[in-house]
Amino acid sequence: MANRLAGASSPYLRQHKDNPVDWFEWGEEAFQEARSRNVPILLSIGYAACHWCHVMAHESFEDLEIAKFMNQEFVNIKVDREERPDIDSIYMAATQAISGHGGWPMTVFLDLQLRPFYAGTYYPPTPRHGLPSFREVLEAMADAWLNQQELINKSVDQIVEQIQAQNSKLRHQTDKAAVLETAIENLRLEFDLDHAGFGGAPKFPPHTTLKFLLRYLSHNPNPEVMGWVERTAIAMASGGMYDQIGGGFARYSVDNRWLVPHFEKMLYDNALLIEVYAELVIRTQNPRYRKILRDSVDFVLRELKTKEGGFAASLDADSEGSRRKVLRI
């Protein structure tokens, strides 16, 4: 029997309609249920083209015993990050503060005031690669709620304080020139001198960072910064993360050399990268950038445009033996 998500507007939520988990959508009905039962909320955030979201769904959310425990000890909420980026943004900040990293599926445990007290991303069905099993995490959180409320309250206070401190620091930086130079210095430290891009694996296409740097360069010509932009633009398009035959960029590179793609392709990634390469064409007249730009536009129009005249949100990483499914907005 289908659960509450059968009537959801989000295609991602409807993918979970047959789970034995008693899912709620984000809203007052779920919050009231948690308050009336005095149980914590388990918030799971993902999106339709996310491979590891599908993996965790198959491994855990379709498991009858795990679902039974989830239904007994928690109120379970599913959120589509592409439908509710506001919720995703709030709890991604908390997840990064708690675990030191973020990603999807995002798994967050909330108190009755919707404040996070523990968070992580993907959890396997059995312990592996240094990760506890999802069942172990569930049991630990349920036990903490029943027997360690003081510890939970302390954790909530620390997380909220950390996030507020970060936001306060940003709000009090009023010298725009100093803020810009601080940002440039931070990017200088993060730039990968060997393979370009910023930071290590996995590497996501840093389209917003590149757009920021191009705006910065309009007012502050700097050969070093332009080098970061051009080296990254070439490196991204030279490896497997870029489709060398059909055009278009995958969601991210598993390795730090841009070679091994994670195969979903997102409309917003490609739209933002098209802007980056278009500006590089204008600035440099480099034919390499022109080809990447043309092939990327062709990919979006060929693969993501729908017969209704709109655009699909993504191509799924999981083809299930057939052509990748186009997921529509």
Query: Rounded distance, CA 26 to CA 76, Å?
Result: 9
Q: Determine the pLDDT at residue 161.
A: 84
Has this prediction a pTM greater than 0.85? Answer: no
The CATH architecture to which 176-328 belongs is Alpha/alpha barrel (1.50)
Q: Determine the pLDDT at residue 326.
A: 46
Q: Determine the pLDDT at residue 168.
A: 64
Q: pLDDT of the chain along its 329 residues, tens only?
A: 789 999 999 999 999 999 999 999 999 999 999 999 999 999 999 998 888 999 999 999 999 999 999 999 999 999 999 999 999 999 999 999 888 888 899 999 999 999 999 999 999 999 988 889 999 999 999 999 999 999 899 888 888 888 877 666 656 666 778 888 889 999 999 999 999 999 998 999 999 999 999 999 999 999 999 999 999 999 999 999 999 999 999 999 999 999 999 888 999 999 999 999 999 999 999 999 999 999 999 999 999 998 888 998 888 877 665 544 444 44
291 contacts: CB under 8 Å, gap ≥ 6: none
Q: Which of 258, 214, 212 is nearest to 234 (CA)?
A: 258
Q: Determine the pLDDT at residue 329.
A: 44
Return the ∠ at Cα 282 (arms to 184 and 194), rounded to 5°.
Answer: 45
Q: Establish how many alpha carbons lie within 13 A of residue 314's alpha carbon, considering only the half-sphere containing its beta carbon.
A: 21
Number of H helices, E strands in the chain: 12, 10
Domain boundaries, the chain: 4-169, 176-328
Q: What is the CATH number of domain 4-169?
A: 3.40.30.10
Q: Which residue has the tokens 């960072």?
A: 209
The sign one gets for the Cα dihedral 50, 53, 58, 62 is negative
The amino acid present at 144, given as its one-letter code, is A
